Structure 1
Amino acid sequence: MARDADVEKVLQALQAEASDKVRDEMGPRYGIVTPKAMGVPMNRMQAIAKRLGRDHELAEALWETGWYEARTVAALIDDPGQVTPAQMDRWRADFDNWAIVDTVCFKLFDQSPHAFARIDAWATLNDEMGRRAGFALLACVALHGRGGDADYLSRLPLIEAAATDSRNFVKKAVNWALRAIGGKKSPALRAAARELADRLAASPDRTARWIGRDAQKAFAKADAKAAG
């Protein structure tokens, strides 16, 4: 492994912040199920990452350790400009819990110029975390203002196609993506997302109905807030 000494220092710093209580609560309380976890609170991982600064090589080496906390730090310190599609696919293949999926997508992958292409590739995957990654990434690029209307209008069919996937971490990501697109300022996107939410809410499929109705509630709340 490259830069073994640097990796070891980060692992030691993480271990110093670890808590058995945090580790033991990760699965039962937060649904974060992963085979290698120390039990470090997110704010401590963020503090360690801040001290390290951007470092693509170290990020890659930390990811290879397999530790949940090291992978979280990796996502926080990697340089989006050096992230390749191959790296995105490689890390995605390692995703084993919703928290690492969302952190990597929200803090790193959404800044990559390859983000929209990876959304297309991942949204049709069969594994739960892989497919979640596709829709979590779609939500993240929408929330952070990447791309233009066409990038989202052309991907609403991906949301509709996945709306009947009843797996917990997929349906929640699909819903998140729909709400994020519908929350953008563009009138065209807002209208298209609301139309899709209405269509899903009327679906005979239970999961699609939940996604549509939950999005309808979110849109109604946002519209009411904007009105007054």
Structure 2
Amino acid sequence: MLLEEVMQQLEEYGTEQNRKTYKNHGAKEPLFGVSFANLKLLKKKIKKDHDLAISLWKTKNMDAMTLATMILDPKKVTTEQLNKWVQEVDYYCLMDVLMTAICTSPIEIERMEEWTKSDDEWIGRAGWSLLANIAIKN
């Protein structure tokens, strides 16, 4: 699928109630308010598409960024890319789905060790969330 098609589908799936709920939990605009059930439908349709994931993340739309975590290829994620993405996250739900997505990446252990030592709230959360996901996977 093309970026424009995915963004249109996300917009169609969005609801006012979900936008309100996500904002109440700390999500910021822009967002469409797409349920995780609908995000999973798109994930199933797209499968893995790392280039599309990068494009979705660049939109800064919360729903697009969340979908990006679901379709990225963890084996293709670079340290530079991951550090940049973690620094851009300020919503706990997005951070947690990102850490779930990358817990099978070849670079996850070194990132986890660095991030858990961080004094920054969000980077520290990334490290601890990643640690939890690694423990669950093993």
TM-score bracket for the superposition, by shorter chain length: over 0.9
Residue in 2 that maps onto 1:68: 62
CA apart distance, 1:36: 1.8
Query: Which of 85, 98, 105 is the equivalent residue of 1:91?
Result: 85
Shift in CA distance, 16/78, structure 1 to aligned 2, threshold 3 Å: same
Shift in CA distance, 54/14, structure 1 to aligned 2, threshold 3 Å: same
Structure 1 vs Structure 2 CA RMSD: 1.3
Greater helix fraction, Structure 1 or Structure 2 = 1
Residues 38-77 of structure 1 mapped to structure 2, 5 A cutoff: 38-77=32-71
Query: Which of 3, 6, 13 is the equivalent residue of 1:7?
Result: 3
C-alpha separation in 2, matches of 1:32 and 1:99: 9
C-alpha separation in 2, matches of 1:32 and 1:50: 27
Q: TM-score scaled to structure 1, two decimals?
A: 0.58
SS at match of 1:111: coil
Residue in 2 that maps onto 1:117: 110
2:18 aligned with 1:18: no
CA apart distance, 1:125: 2.1
C-alpha separation in 2, matches of 1:118 and 1:34: 26
What is the aligned residue count?
138
C-alpha separation in 2, matches of 1:63 and 1:33: 15
CA apart distance, 1:50: 1.1
The one-letter code of the counterpart of 2:14 is: A
CA apart distance, 1:127: 2.3
Contiguous gaps of at least 5 residues in structure 1: 146-228
Residue in 2 that maps onto 1:79: 73
The one-letter code of the counterpart of 2:71 is: I
Residues 32-43 of structure 1 mapped to structure 2, 5 A cutoff: 32-43=26-37
Q: What is the identity percentage for the equivalent residue pairs of Structure 1 and Structure 2?
A: 29
CA apart distance, 1:87: 1.3
Residue in 2 that maps onto 1:154: none
Q: Cα deviations across residues 137-193 of structure 1 (Å, max 9, x unaligned)?
A: 000000011xxxxxxxxxxxxxxxxxxxxxxxxxxxxxxxxxxxxxxxxxxxxxxxx
Contiguous gaps of at least 5 residues in structure 2: none
CA apart distance, 1:27: 3.1
C-alpha separation in 2, matches of 1:57 and 1:27: 28
C-alpha separation in 2, matches of 1:19 and 1:60: 24
Answer with 1 or 2: which has the greater Rg: 1
